[in-house]
A and B are shown apart, each in its own frame.
Chain A
């Protein structure tokens, strides 16, 4: 590859990246701009005299600590539940033989293709009939079964040599020991990456938690910020952006900490698939 093409490619990539990050730059910039600067100087994303007033305002007006706790509980429960159910299933589909295996695996794949929106009304009715509207369990339950998690882990488990697992069985290990002492630890990196991905995904959920959360007591961060933006904070752009930055911060930091493993696990799943 010659130097000219490399430079041309680099320039396009840098410009695209800059454009892609610009909205987030404005989001952060606006959260630090005073109202006078917001109206007087809308073009620049950078505040000349940064102020913390919007952050103080948001923390005073909204129970952000409670929303944060709800987001953590919701995302944590979805992640742990989904992974806990997916690991044994991925083991069964990758290293065990049983009747109906192909049919059941087809169901797993099928479940990934069903558009989420069609499940809303029936699931809403189910959650309502269990008296779980307005509760965290009502938010969590529909997300516990995930074809995607089973599929992705199976792709990783399959790459593990069967001979080692068979040797463990010969040595007297039970199937569950084989799974939890050998196969799962050997794929810990993939499991952790999937977990972080699921955590971020759940953290970012809006529609279902919004349908279920009938009172501010169970609002997650996304729901709380959305209700604020659609209501009393609708014209208060500084406050809206401060709340946005606070909501985004945990996922961006988490992503930057684990980005390498996360991106690799994810693309492996897609390419091997």
Chain B
């Protein structure tokens, strides 16, 4: 049991503390000299208007993940209950294929799709005589375009969990409800979904927690955070500050904000689950 805690301590828990420590310094990651500046990295981040924009963009990513990787997979899973389990297996397998390929590799084809001149989307729009947007170069379109790639890549994963959650609902409940005359949307709205709620909360929070991580590589491949920071988010900026601009202290302070956001989300999940349990009693 002990051995597993050695790498966990060295590469997961120790970095947590070291990050906090680094956040009090001004340091470029390579220079042996670093200057202690207290909370200056934090105050500097909070003073910048870009920080608020970045937070809002992080929420935007989360919102898009809720549509594409929470609501959509649950909808598809509900539909899947209507077909035989043999047939369902085919959809499960095929929808999971994008989830087993490398994000970076899967994103490359989208780079071509989004190409303003010579890309697939604008070739289609051009054939229909429609206006052709600049996609990744358009500050208002770039973020949803990047999010779409992540949602495509990870849909199969979330669909699988949604379907498993729905199937875990005891058959007796459904039969009892049918005997009582519930059917179609009534059955789904008043019997299936309430029983599915605990799995749904799990799926909801993991979708939120993973959303920024899942757009990480698509951002790196498609836009590197641009144009003019329009596709940046709290998680990507940690990496950008640290490894592109070599501002280790700033990156570490951003990490602390990120940890705080994650902790709040996880706390909220447990509160929700607790409420749910009391309600069931």
Residues of A whose CB lies within 8 Å of any CB of B are: 1, 5-6, 8-10, 12-13, 16-17, 20-21, 23-24, 26-27, 30, 39, 42-43, 85-86, 88-89, 91-93, 96, 98, 104, 107-108, 111, 113-126, 141-145, 147, 150, 200, 203-207, 211, 222, 225-226, 229, 237, 240-241, 244, 247-248, 251-252, 254-256, 259-260, 263, 266-268, 270-271, 273
Contact = CB atoms under 8 A, between A and B. Distances in A.
A39 to B, nearest CB: 7
Interface residues on B, range: 35 or more
Given A145-B12, A203-B102, A229-B221, 5 more contacts: A43-B123, A115-B259, A119-B11, A120-B239, A145-B10
A213 B168 CA distance: 44
- By Cβ-Cβ distance, the 10 closest A-B pairs, closest first, are A145-B7, A122-B15, A92-B1, A145-B8, A267-B164, A204-B102, A9-B82, A9-B79, A118-B255, A144-B7
B150 interface: no
Interface stretch (B40-48, B103-111, B138-146): B103-111
B216 A207 contact: yes
Contacts of B165: 270-271
Contact of A23 (B76, B152, B168, B239): B152
A113 B270 CA distance: 13
Contact of B3 (A85, A113, A124): A85
Contact of A27 (B109, B243, B258): B109
Contacts of A9: 79-80, 82-83
A26 B108 CA distance: 11
A252 B7 contact: no
A209 to B, nearest CB: 10
Interface in B99-140: 100-106, 108-113, 118-120, 123-124, 127
A273 B97 CA distance: 24
A13 B80 contact: yes
Nearest to B122: A42
A252 B156 contact: no
A225 to B, nearest CB: 6
A123 B96 CA distance: 32
Contacts of B110: 23
A113 B266 contact: yes
B82 A6 contact: yes
B241 to A, nearest CB: 9
B195 interface: no
A217 B161 CA distance: 39
A204 B153 CA distance: 12
Contacts of B161: 267, 270
Contacts of B9: 145
Contacts of A237: 112
Contacts of B12: 111, 114, 119, 145, 147
Contacts of A118: 15-16, 19, 238, 255, 258-259
A117 B76 contact: no
B221 A226 contact: yes
Interface in B60-101: 76, 79-80, 82-83, 87, 89, 91-98, 100-101
Given A118-B19, A222-B102, A85 B4 contact: yes
B182 interface: no
Interface in B165-209: 165, 168, 184, 199, 202, 209
Contact of B112 (A30, A120, A225): A30
Contact of B103 (A91, A206, A211): A206
B147 interface: no
Given A200-B100, A267-B164, A229 B10 contact: no
Nearest to A226: B104
B4 A145 contact: yes
Contacts of A104: 1, 5
Contacts of B76: 12-13, 16
Q: Which of B164, B216, B251 has the most CB of A within 10 A?
A: B164
